[in-house]
Structure 1
């Protein structure tokens, strides 16, 4: 089963400095039918103006994945971490027992990113932060795993999260097709960050989403040049 939601049907808020699109209920946007998808609790599609951002605020017991689509985000937190995550890169913050952080756009251009929250496998983990690069310009041979906590262990070349889930990305040329396998009983949440795709014959528009259940084989075709991200979830 593949349920498609177009970008226009998500929750939208315009704060001037921030234009936020909420895939699931978040902040002042509430839809009882959109409270999450398995352990996936938040998927925000944010446009942040240059020179603005989120001042220091707290989190706990949440795995927070940020995928930068354009520009760069500068991070600092109460653990002493400081870093700049640019377009094509991904960062992970495990809030665990508690962390305070700030995320700002210190660049001369606007910033576009996905911020995704995943509930952890249990509460009380040690908080941490890390980042890595996804080279969107190289020839991609299928989906690349950027973040993973599959089977409760760390995976080579992927940032770790405390959940049996994986975050993957691919860049596709028009007409290109990739096949992705899902283990029985698992689900996937797929978002074309750029371009339009088709999954098992079902069209998914740019920046819309496909919530996928009870499918073990996904045939993903780019109907135009596309950048696609997905979460493989329990």
Structure 2
């Protein structure tokens, strides 16, 4: 059982054309052989796009599940499989690249800040697919809510399905004074998307901090002030 805290200031940073991206793991020109992923999570980027119209022009993906969570602004998505969507705070988006797809992601309204995360699918070569859902109402209760999942226990009630049967992403908008319990799994990744929290055995975590838990479950998290968490529950690790 391990608890690894990673501070926001320790993340790799890429300054692109109209985008500033902060990476939890090795990405692009940033490579650390000891930090290429955690569990099934191989990318976790926190991106800021200051101006509308900027972002990522059309680019390819293959055999990856791409999950996007917007914190402010609005993101416009289009892909070559014919899918499009406007993603705003409270809306979760999943693109399954399958056997290959190209897509673009630009700020429809800026400043745009979003967290984008990638996990491998449990089978390669599928048809590309797309899903999104407004989960605002579900988050109003203040608990951790599964918003994207491939886990069997979520098969009938998760807003957006995931092409990976061993993973789920939960989001929590925590009001001051609330307490939530993290899911139990071999790998749990907690990202503080905004605000500050106190986590049992990890201490205070602020905006941009992350915690990687292995073989853990049941840890309590309490917001210091209003906070938003993105939590991945993973029951296996990505193949090397």
User: How high is the TM-score relative to the length of structure 2?
Assistant: 0.91
Q: Which moved more, 1:214-223 or 1:137-146?
A: 137-146
Matched, 1:78 2:77: no
2:71 is matched with which residue? 69
2:28 is matched with which residue? 27
1:133 is matched with which residue? 134
* Deviations 1:179-198 (CA, angstroms, capped at 9, x unpaired): 23314xx2100011111112
1:52 is matched with which residue? 54
Matched, 1:150 2:161: no
* Deviations 1:26-51 (CA, angstroms, capped at 9, x unpaired): 11111111100021100000001222
Cα distance in 2 for residues equivalent to 1:124 and 1:79 = 14
Cα distance in 2 for residues equivalent to 1:65 and 1:189 = 14
Cα distance in 1 for residues equivalent to 2:135 and 2:106 = 21
Gaps of 5+ in 1: none
Cα distance in 2 for residues equivalent to 1:131 and 1:153 = 16
SS class of match (2:122):
coil
1:8 is matched with which residue? 9
Matched, 1:88 2:90: yes
Cα distance in 2 for residues equivalent to 1:157 and 1:150 = 9
Cα distance in 1 for residues equivalent to 2:58 and 2:182 = 39
SS class of match (1:110):
strand
Where has structure 1 moved over 6 Å in runs of 4 or more?
Answer: none
- Residues 59-208 of structure 1 mapped to structure 2, 5 A cutoff: 59-107=61-109, 109-135=110-136, 139-151=140-152, 154-163=155-164, 164-183=166-185, 186-203=186-203, 204-208=205-209
Cα distance in 2 for residues equivalent to 1:218 and 1:230 = 12
1:229 Cα shift? 1.0
- 8 A Cα contact 2:142 2:178, kept in partner: no
- 8 A Cα contact 1:26 1:42, kept in partner: yes
- 8 A Cα contact 2:49 2:111, kept in partner: yes
* Deviations 1:3-25 (CA, angstroms, capped at 9, x unpaired): 11011001012225111100000
Cα distance in 2 for residues equivalent to 1:126 and 1:93 = 11
1:42 is matched with which residue? 43
